[in-house]
Amino acid sequence: MARNSSDRPVDGPVLTVGVRVLVRRSTGADLIGEVVEDYEAVTDPGGGGHGWAPVHRWAVALDDGRLVFADTEDLTIDPGFHRSAPNPNPDPDSAVRTPGRHRGE
């Protein structure tokens, strides 16, 4: 069984940079995005956080373009997430298009 950084057993993927997650907030809708940074070093006691402005461990780039910060207990790993090795010879005609506007369109 895999373990996450807090040494709690987890099934499936481990919470780390690059993983797709669901961010749960006490108010509003759940948010979906990708973990882009882990601030574990500054969340540990004596790591530089302040009692009046605690540091949240994870930075998450949301699908809507915003950046949010969350603690481990606020995140759920997307069970459908999997990362495959990059294609060394990508075919530009078969590339997956991301939502939004693209240059030349």
| More confident of the two residues 99 and 77 | 77
Domains of the chain by range and CATH?
2-75 (2.30.30)
Please, which pLDDT band fits residue 14 given cuts at 50, 70 and 90? confident
Angle CA 24–57–15, to nearest 5: 70
Tens of pLDDT, residues 48-97 = 666 777 788 999 999 999 999 999 999 999 877 665 444 445 555 544 44
**Residue 27: its pLDDT value, please?**
80
User: Coil, strand, or helix at residue 100?
Assistant: coil
41 or 35, which is more confident? 35
Does this model's pTM top 0.75? no
Report CA Rg, the chain.
Answer: 17
Residue 43 has pLDDT above 60, yes or no: yes
